[in-house]
Structure 1
Amino acid sequence: MEIKGSKQLYHKLFFIYTAILVCVISALVIFFINSTRKRFLEQSLRYTEMMSESALSYLEDSSDIAEYIHEDLYNSGMELKDVLHYMTDEPDQYQKYRLDTYIENKLNGYKGIEEFFQDAFQAYGSLSQITLFSYERDEITEYTRDGKSYRRDGDGEFKERLENGELVQEGCFAYLKEIRDPSTMQGKGCMLLGFRSKKFESIWQYYSRAELMVYHDSQTVVYTSSKEHEISDIMEAENKGELEILLGAYVEQAQHGQYHTISYIEKGRASAVPFSIVVMLVLVGIAVMALGELFVRYYLQKLANRLNRILDGMTKVMDGDLAVRIPIDSLLDEERLPAGHAFRCALGYKKEDELDVIARYFNEMCAKLDKHIKKQYLAEIEQKNAEMDALQSQINPHFLYNTLEAVRMKAICNGDREVGKMLYSLAVTFRAQIKEADIITLAQELHYCKKYMELFEFRYQNQFQANVECPEEYLKVPIIKFVLQPVIENYFIHGIRMKETDNFVRIIVEKEAERRYGEGAGHKEADMCEEGYRIIVEDNGKGMTKEAIEAKNRELEHDTMEKHSSIGIANVNRRLKAVYGKECGIHLETGSQGGLRVILRFMGGN
């Protein structure tokens, strides 16, 4: 008889493992690419926000500097008088005033407007130029950082710019400060403090992924890194709240005075992953897949060799050779190690898989068949039956409970009271399931519920609070067991807000008010829930919509809930109706703090 080898199983397993490996690695590569895309998106949004903050900070600093210079001018009497005379006097009169003032203050030193502005240039590096405009003389004087000044007559273009509030020039944006005579409060002229707009280019280059635009209320652009959109379109879209739609980007906006900053990054570019990173992830995936294929091939080849040894042994047995023995790999690994049971176990070499079990059982079978041939069949069969009975014995539930209690006491003796408390709560719940009668007291039900919630307190530490309110006279009221645990479990599965720490569950026991049917309807008997009770379980979790609650209540009332939806609550509702009557059961309401309120009605006399 021809015995086939293990090649068919080898190819089948190789195909299955390869398919699983491809699916898993492909999923991991896709996951890492998506995670990288998400990180790039977060980084781009953070850079866009930081760019906006940096540009706004520069505007605020420039505005503060302009305000400081203006205040210093008014706080310096000599410089202020010099400016007022400069703006109102003719050149020869102004020079006479400066000469007289210098002679008068030669001991203390004379300081005019040129020195004041030069000190301002030295103090503030971002200040690029200062322009004075005299209303009476209609004259413009520009001061630069190199200490030079340029005078010219006021032209129509300059005046028109002042009237329209256009304070932006090429490479410069300015703040307008009025200069008035303190004695009459009449405006004598104005001062334009110009600052370098090139700073915005440095900010944009530092955060190069996003685009930056700075403009004035007069529709003049201070700086823009992209000239794709017109400033008029930008301002119109901003007023309509459609700026993100126009730019097709994530936008950060800010404003300081008459200046606006817009930093944005296109949505496609924000989450774009560099091609080199994608290639790297794909190459890593291919490398991992190659290593996985080598491991799978090695493992399956080893498995095939072991199967072939078993098949060869079976072939020899079929030929009548009962002396054949199949080598067991776990025993071979043990023999290669130094002597000492503890050393072998520590290294984890003493292991036995299914094929070793088959080989061992095969060897035992051959030995027993050999003994059977030697007329020891009956004794060996009895021994085998005794062994099988021992292997098939089941663990007694009480033994498991007692063992769990022993583990708890060991944990307490070792000082781990928290683990002991968890084991105690689990043991109490387990004991209630295997020992308690179907009808217990309300005190027992609440006790088991508390122990059940204690297990969740260890799982969700510092994330929720539980409170039980039950008058003492209701504690001895009988109730069917395990009506609260499914409701509490339903909250922890569907209702708890994992990202919050103010979750709470409140259990309140109340006695139902006595109710009777209206006599106008012709009924005299008492309502079903007369002398009844209700347990209210309320939380502040995710809750349900009003429509969903109404639909669930209809299903609960007619006992038509689908098997795959809220099985625990449906089961409790069905049991309450079966034991206490159709008027009792479960009813859902919206909680007082946005969660869910579950009301369980039952009769206390059953």
Structure 2
Amino acid sequence: MFKQIYQKHFKKKLFNKLIAVYSFIAVASLLTVSVFAYQYFARNDINTALLEQQRIVDNMNRYLDQKYDLAQAITQQVFQDNMLIRDTVYLLEQGYEQYIRYRLDTYSSSNVFFTRNLQDFYVLQFWKDPDLQNINLISPTKQFALMYSAQALSGKMYDWSKEPGLNEQWRRERYGFQNPSYMSQKAKQAGTEAKNGTADTAPSDVEQGDQELVNTTDTTRDMPLFTVTTRISSPETLLTAGHISIDFNANGIARQLGSSIRGEQWLVLNPKGEIVYPAQAAYDGQVWPNFDKLASIDRNKSQAVDLDGQKSYVIVSKTNKLGLTVVGALPQAAITDHLSGIRNTIGIVTILCIVTVLTLTYFSVLHLSRRTQTIVKAMKKVQDGNLNTRLPVDREDELGLISESFNKMCEDLKQYINRFYKSELKQKHAELIALQAQIKPHFLFNTLEVIRMRAISQGVHDVGEMIYSLASMFRHMVKDKTVITVNEEIENCRRYLELTRIRYRDKLQYTIHMDERLGGYNIMKLSVQPIIENYLVHGIGLERTDNHILIEVMQSEEELVIRISDNGKGIEPERLKQIQQELDEAQIQDHGSLGLKNIQERLRILYGESYGLTIDSVLNLGTIVTICVPLN
């Protein structure tokens, strides 16, 4: 089909070809400009969104640090105030009833009308920070919790040593639950253990240590919390009396977010991957579905990742003091969604430009085609013998020049025919013979030998040695052999190294250890020399003078082993792993060079899949390449 179209419309029609070529160039140029213009706007929007993403993540980390510092400040005030630490320790060690008696005795024995107490101090903290949700004083030994909250500033006592059900009630009121699922289940379990006499400690969250992170959801109101828990120790005995757990409402993080776009995600995760924020996603301690992908993402740097089947820019930060992971995910489609109007405008303008260019091209070429057809028709008349044919010359362009030359040619031809009527035209044929001079290899060797002897006669012995080594290498390479002896291959390597040593002014040293009994065995031609060349290109350090390469030829059972080791730059672990994987592949692509891949492929073809080369390297220490082939 395409062949028929070409033969009918393009093969013998130059101007159709010009129209097609010009149209293709114009369309391709306009489409390219349109694509780059759209990509410019898209990249600009993406960069702006990524900068805003980084700013929001920094604000979230800063917010978490502020809450952590506030919790630490509250705890430090407790420890620094003798009355507060003494009362707090007494409360946790002796129980609430004993603490009330202790406070009454203290008040009655004092000579003042007003004394400070724990309640005044903890209530004051809620006035300082609206995100402070609860302050819990928890005694694992006495099995009670005294909770001050934004809703109950006077404090509320939950003593589950006497009534185990208060443990569940404390949890529910602490997290704002009316119909809890996850926390209710844990509370019921704790209550059952208490009834059976096995629950002798505080709830499981205070067993976490100095700091803990809690995330829950509620069917009536969202209240994800993150908690900072600190041990309270007696100043006299230094023994742990209990814990102080300070809960912050994670919904305050929402104030750190700017304008939102469709599909964006701002998450705060605990070390287990459980969602702390936002509230609508913090369900029953479930791990974020994409938590496993965070390990491969660089920290504090936006990176394109496939999330839920769409490309998103994800930034992961863990710079806050709470050890929480802050995640920001922006779908690329959502970032560039508002560019649809610009995209449509660019598309319409591009289509209009394409139509205009194609129309102008068509009519311009059509005009040239008509003038050309006039010249072609005139030529056909002259071909038929009408020498009186003349072309109009109305333009001073190339076609006008052709028309003028055509008219002059017809006039001259008419005069010539009239002058030499019935004269016999003769044409002479000359045959040109091109003599090809082929430079034979022996001619090249003889020429190099003459140059070498000339250099030696002039006292330039190092140049003579280099020319001798180069000529020997050429003579070795032009041999029409696939397999040569080990002696020949090693000798070619020695000449190559000697030539390189002179070239680098003794910055390179080499050592060759070979069992002379192995010199007569066969080896594939050019199996060692490309490895040495690879070291000289990538591994040698020209700023050093201790560069060294060692070639060892040895026998291992029924195998011939050649080991090439150096003290060069080595290979980075990622690149080394990639090279080893490529060498292990059954199908090795041809890269058009005599590198490691080429050597491996030729060795496998010649000796089988079980033979070949291996490579090991340590960065900045060197590389070892080992060739293993059968003895034959």
Under a length normalisation based on structure 2, what TM-score does the superposition of the two structures give? 0.48
Under a length normalisation based on structure 1, what TM-score does the superposition of the two structures give? 0.49
